[in-house]
Each structure stands twice: as structure tokens, then as C-alpha cells.
């Protein structure tokens, strides 16, 4: 689609900061065009984020290829530029003007590159928010900006669909959640008790190594996993249970479900063909210590895991100083180089210029 000729030569710049998120009910397994096999729910984080700037210029006519340069953390990065060009081509049906724009994109993360922390959720959501802003400049207003940004983010990385809202986001059609959709995430902060908006997430880095299996490959393994169907069913059941206990601030049930979800994700990888063990011995040692500390102190802290060995320690804000002591005395020795990313539930993306 050619853009209105009056736009030719116009240019602009948009910057978005967008956070990572941590799933409480995990998405693992997909079909079709990045559709989830089960519903998922996540905390939006505050400190671990990507900051992405897109400079754009409207060209005279559509180009054969995507016109794009990409700068990551101060250096030109052709590998990322190629990935983004492919992504842009794949969403040409959504942004038919995308080959008539010259992009100059730069991005950085607030968290160190080699911490084993996946940046796809923050990076893809920041980029999609920039694209939706450019769309509004060149092609007209979107009915629901954040819903559209969530849908575009999903096409870049499924979990990124949940990064565009404050506090909590839910993604994936679920019979008990009106407005839920496989196409985009919906905001969920207002559906739970206030205590959860103050939750902390201390990310204890057990290993800074790259993931041993990419999430694309991990999702694909679910297609031949003999337990896949029962996993999808139990994830949707856990979603119903989790929503109920989060409305009621029932932390005991919250802890039980969140930890079971994390371990179930890892169990799926253990029984895939081929099978993968994504935890390290230090991950298990920390899990045992967290459970022991909880039993002894009755402090409602729990862990969750991504598809890797690092521990996310989740707890209500008022226990922060006690948990600091627990980390220093009992957990830090099991991290690589004393690495911790201290994070908490956050306010969602922010546009920092236009
Ligand atoms: O968004 P992807 O395709 O990288 O998948 C990520 C899946 C998990 O992080 C393991 C779980 C989740 O729901 O975020």
C-alpha cells in the first residue's frame, strides 16, 4: 500500500521503554501464527527493560527490501538487523506501509547482556510499540493502541504480548476470562488484590550461559510430547485457581500454584524428545533452601523459573529487608559471581519522546 504522497520526505523519531515479564502460569507450546496452546498470566517487571528508538523517514515508493539499520547497545548489529527485517516482512499484512519507510533503530537493555535473562519480551514489545506509534503517524489512529501493540508483539515473541500492560497481563483464550484472546494479551492488574502490585522479584543468576535450547525449539518439542494435552489442560485449570486465590490474596495457594507451574515447565522439557534438564544443581539447592526458609519463618516467598536455571524469588514488598538477609546468608553463594537483578512488579511501557 502506497502512503499518501504528502507524507513523502517526512520523518520522525519515537522511543519506548518496555519491560520484561515473568510468567506465573507458563506458556509453553504453540500452533499456527504464534497462537498459545494454553492461557498464561504474568507479572510485568519494572527494572529489566529494553529502550528502543526508531527513527523513520517516509520514502517516495515501496522498496523491494526492508530499509533498516540496527544498533544494539551502541554497535551496529547486522545479525539482529536481519532478524528484524524478517519480522517486519512477516507483518506486512498488518503494516502495509512497512517497505515505504527507512528505519534507523537503536536498542539497549537495562540488564546486562550475558545474564541468561531472555530479552525477547522487552525487546519485541518495545519495537512493536514504536511501530504502532509510527502507524498512527503515517496511516491513521488505531482503535486500541495497546491491544494492537500486544498483538504485534506476540508475532515477534509470544511472551512479549504480555509486556505492554502495567502490573499483570493475561494472554490466551480461557473460558473463565471474558475478553481473553489468543491474538493479544489483556491487562489484568485490576482483577487481583493490591498486594500483588507491590510484589518483588529478585532474579538470582545461577548461570550466565546462553540457553541450551531456544524457546522456539522448546515450544516445538511440545508437539511430540506425550504429556502435552494434559499439560495444556492443567495450565488452564491452574489459571482458574490462581485468579481466585489472587483475588482473595490467598498467598498459600498462590505459592503452591506458582511453584508447581515452574516445575511443570521444567518437567515438560525433561520428558521431551530429546529431553533437556534446564536446571543446575545450584538451582535445586536454592529451591530447597527457599522452601525450608518459608516453612521455618512462615514468610510467604516463593520461586518461579523461566526456561533456564535462574531463580525468580517472588514475595510481598513488606518482607524485602528480611529477604535481603536471607539472600545474603543463604542464597548468594549459589549464584554466578554474586549476580542478582532486583526487580519488582512495574508500571508497564513508557513512551519517552515522539
Ligand atoms: O515468548 P517465547 O516464545 O520466548 O516463550 C517464552 C516462554 C516462557 O518464558 C518459558 C514462559 C512464559 O510464559 O513466559
Q: What is the DSSP code (8-state) at residue 319? A: G
Inform me whether the pLDDT recorded for 227 exceeds 70: yes
pTM for the whole structure: 0.97
Separation of 77 CA from ligand 1 center, angstroms? Answer: 24
Binding pocket residue ranges, ligand 1, CB within 6 Å: 23, 26-28, 40, 118, 120, 157-159, 215, 306-307
Inform me whether the pLDDT recorded for 114 exceeds 70: no
Per-residue CA distances from 173 to 40, 41, 128, 178, 236 (Å): 9, 11, 22, 9, 9
Q: Of ligand 1's atoms, which has the minimum distance to the CA of residue 265?
A: 10
Give the lowest-confidence range in 48-52, 146-150, 211-215: 211-215
Angle, in degrees to the nearest 10, between helices 228-247 and 251-270:
160
Inform me whether the pLDDT recorded for 213 exceeds 90: no
Give the whole-angstrom CA distance, residue 120 versus residue 123: 5
Give the whole-angstrom CA distance, residue 246 versus residue 289: 25
Matching residue, cell 496452546: 37
Give the whole-angstrom CA distance, residue 288 versus residue 282: 10
- Maximum Cα interatomic distance, the chain, rounded to a whole number of Å: 70
Q: Of ligand 1's atoms, which has the minimum distance to the CA of residue 307?
A: 10
Inform me whether the pLDDT recorded for 210 exceeds 80: no
Average pLDDT over residues 134-147: 97
What's the pLDDT score for residue 105? Answer: 98
Inform me whether the pLDDT recorded for 315 exceeds 80: yes
Separation of 340 CA from ligand 1 center, angstroms? Answer: 21
Per-residue CA distances from 354 to 52, 129, 186 (Å): 12, 12, 25
Separation of 27 CA from ligand 1 center, angstroms? Answer: 6
Q: Report the percent of the chain where pLDDT is more than 70.
A: 99
What's the pLDDT score for residue 117? Answer: 78
Separation of 216 CA from ligand 1 center, angstroms? Answer: 9
What's the pLDDT score for residue 1? Answer: 72
Average pLDDT over residues 39-66: 97
Atom 9 (ligand 1): residue with closest C-alpha? 306
Give the lowest-confidence range in 142-151, 206-215, 229-238: 206-215
Amino acid at each position: 500500500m502506497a502512503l499518501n504522497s504528502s507524507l513523502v520526505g517526512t520523518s520522525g523519531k519515537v522511543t519506548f521503554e518496555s519491560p520484561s515479564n515473568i510468567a506465573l502460569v507458563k506458556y509453553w507450546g504453540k500452533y499456527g501464527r504464534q497462537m498459545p496452546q494454553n492461557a498464561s498470566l504474568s507479572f510485568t517487571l519494572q527494572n529489566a527493560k529494553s529502550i528502543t528508538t526508531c527513527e523513520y523517514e517516509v520514502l517516495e515508493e515501496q522498496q523491494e527490501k526492508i530499509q533498516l539499520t540496527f544498533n544494539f547497545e551502541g554497535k551496529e548489529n547486522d545479525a539482529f538487523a536481519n532478524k528484524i527485517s524478517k519480522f517486519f516482512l512477516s507483518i506486512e499484512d498488518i503494516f502495509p506501509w512497512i517497505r515505504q519507510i527507512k528505519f534507523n533503530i537503536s536498542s539497549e537493555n537495562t540488564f546486562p547482556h550475558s545474564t541468561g535473562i531472555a530479552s525477547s519480551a522487552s525487546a519485541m514489545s518495545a519495537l512493536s510499540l514504536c511501530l504502532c506509534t509510527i502507524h498512527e503517524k503515517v496511516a491513521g489512529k488505531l482503535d486500541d493502541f495497546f491491544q494492537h501493540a500486544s498483538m504485534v508483539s506476540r508475532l515477534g515473541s509470544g511472551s512479549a504480548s504480555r509486556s505492554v500492560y502495567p502490573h499483570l497481563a493475561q494472554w490466551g483464550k480461557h473460558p473463565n476470562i471474558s475478553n481473553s484472546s489468543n491474538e493479544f494479551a489483556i491487562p489484568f492488574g485490576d482483577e487481583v488484590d493490591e498486594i500483588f502490585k507491590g510484589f518483588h522479584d529478585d532474579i538470582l543468576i545461577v548461570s550466565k550461559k546462553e540457553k541450551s535450547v531456544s524457546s522456539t525449539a522448546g515450544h516445538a518439542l511440545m508437539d511430540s510430547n506425550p504429556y502435552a494435552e494434559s499439560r495444556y489442560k492443567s495450565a488452564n485449570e491452574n489459571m482458574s485457581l490462581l485468579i481466585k486465590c489472587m483475588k482473595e490474596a490467598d498467598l498459600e495457594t498462590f505459592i503452591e500454584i506458582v511453584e508447581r507451574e515452574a516445575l511443570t515447565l521444567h518437567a515438560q522439557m525433561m520428558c521431551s524428545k530429546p529431553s533437556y534438564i534446564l536446571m543446575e544443581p545450584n538451582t535445586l539447592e536454592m529451591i530447597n533452601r527457599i522452601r525450608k526458609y518459608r516453612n521455618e519463618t512462615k514468610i510467604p516467598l516463593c520461586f518461579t523459573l523461566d526456561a533456564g536455571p535462574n531463580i525468580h524469588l517472588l514475595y510481598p514488598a513488606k518482607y524485602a529487608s528480611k529477604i535481603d538477609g536471607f539472600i545474603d546468608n543463604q542464597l548468594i553463594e549459589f549464584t554466578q559471581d554474586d549476580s542478582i537483578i532486583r526487580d519488582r512488579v512495574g508500571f508497564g511501557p513508557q513512551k519517552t519522546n515522539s
